[in-house]
Structure 1
Amino acid sequence: MKGAFTIEGSSFVDQRGEIKFFNSFDMSKVVRFYEITPSSTDVVRAWQGHSFEKKWFYCHSGSFVINIVNITDHNSPATEVDPKRFELNADNPFILEVPGGNATGFKAGLPHSKLMVFSNFTLEESAKDDIRFPIETWKATW
């Protein structure tokens, strides 16, 4: 897979509550963000890819499984590739960075889970770079 990695977060707890922070996350390239709340833990959203757009994923409520595959050929992707699986959990703060050239799919592990997605592309730029594949294209463990 092409360059996906995690950015570790941390937390601080005292009598006033908890703060989760990501001091090493450089947000200077982020131009928009959105939140995804699946309707149930049975829903799998897969596969969406981008040639150039970079995304960062952060689970701030519940948990998610995110699978990632490198897109080698948009017209005839290699289907024998095993997706790389990441588990995001609100209790273990980290951000998953996924560069362009990859497709992602994800599924909530708990009810009411929420996933923040940050992007370095505007909505218009992202739409021009969007690549979709049927869920059956790759076998993933959700």
Structure 2
Amino acid sequence: MDKTLEIEGTTFSDTRGKIKFFNTFDMSQIVRFYEISPDNTSIIRGWQGHHNEKKWFYCHSGSFVINTVNIMPKETTPNNRIPQRFVLNENSPVILEVPEGSATAFKSLEDGSKLMVFSDFTLDESMKDDIRFPLETWNAQW
């Protein structure tokens, strides 16, 4: 399994407004995307993992804490693993690439936050690869 990777974007501003762009982000693997808008900042979504699916996360409104953890190899119990913590926010153009063999959990830090999630699997493929863990499986920092 590869490591979780932060893909940095760039912001350009002039009298017409601001543009955020990710010219180094290769989207050729992406087959679908969706947006998550939590109802409040106390909700933690996770842990959800995939052995084969890769995902990318982009915060376009507000901010989020995202924790990732390696769940490979499948045959071993991953309970003793330590999650990696990332903070994404609308003012810093960053895409978080989470490799296959990972589980994620996240929560918004501000009301009205919105998270875009990109996937290299169709919904049917993703559902067959879906693994859920109780929230208390790993001690993540929120």
- Same fold, judged at TM 0.5 (above): yes
Amino acid at match of 1:50: H
Count of paired positions:
142
1:3 — aligned with what?
A: 3
How big is the shift at 1:76?
Answer: 5.8
Unmatched segments (≥5 aa) in structure 1: none
- The alpha-carbon deviation at position 82 of structure 1 amounts to 1.4
**Partners of 1:75 and 1:131 in 2: how far apart?**
14
Aligned match of 2:65: 65
1:42-53 alignment to 2 at 5 Å?
42-53=42-53
Give the Å deviation of 1:80.
2.1
CA drift at 1:79: 1.5
Is residue 51–residue 72 contact of structure 2 (8 Å, CA) maintained in 1?
no
Give, in whole Å, the separation in 2 of the partners of 1:79 and 1:139. 9
* Structure 2 residues without counterparts, runs of 5 or longer: none
Q: Deviations over 1:63-112 (max 9, x none)?
A: 00000000035576322221000000110111000011000000001110
Cα drift, residue 114 of structure 1: 0.3
Q: Which amino acid aligns with 1:29?
A: Q
Output one character per residue of 1:5-29: Cα deviation in whole Å (capped at 9) or x when no partner. Answer: 0111011111111000000000011
SS at match of 2:136: helix
**8 A contact 1:34–1:117 mirrored in 2:** yes
Distance 1:30 1:74 in 2: 24
Specify the alignment match of 1:116 in structure 2.
Answer: 116
Q: What's the CA shift for 1:3?
A: 1.6
AA of the residue aligned to 1:126: S
Identity of aligned residues (%): 62
Tell me which residue corresponds to 1:92: 92
RMSD across aligned C-alpha pairs, in angstroms? 1.3
Whole-angstrom CA distance in 2 between matches of 1:97 and 1:78: 20
1:46 positional shift: 1.2
| Structure 1: distance between partners of 2:115 and 2:2 | 22
Q: With the length of structure 1 as denominator, give the TM-score of the two structures.
A: 0.96
Equivalent position of 1:55 in the other structure: 55
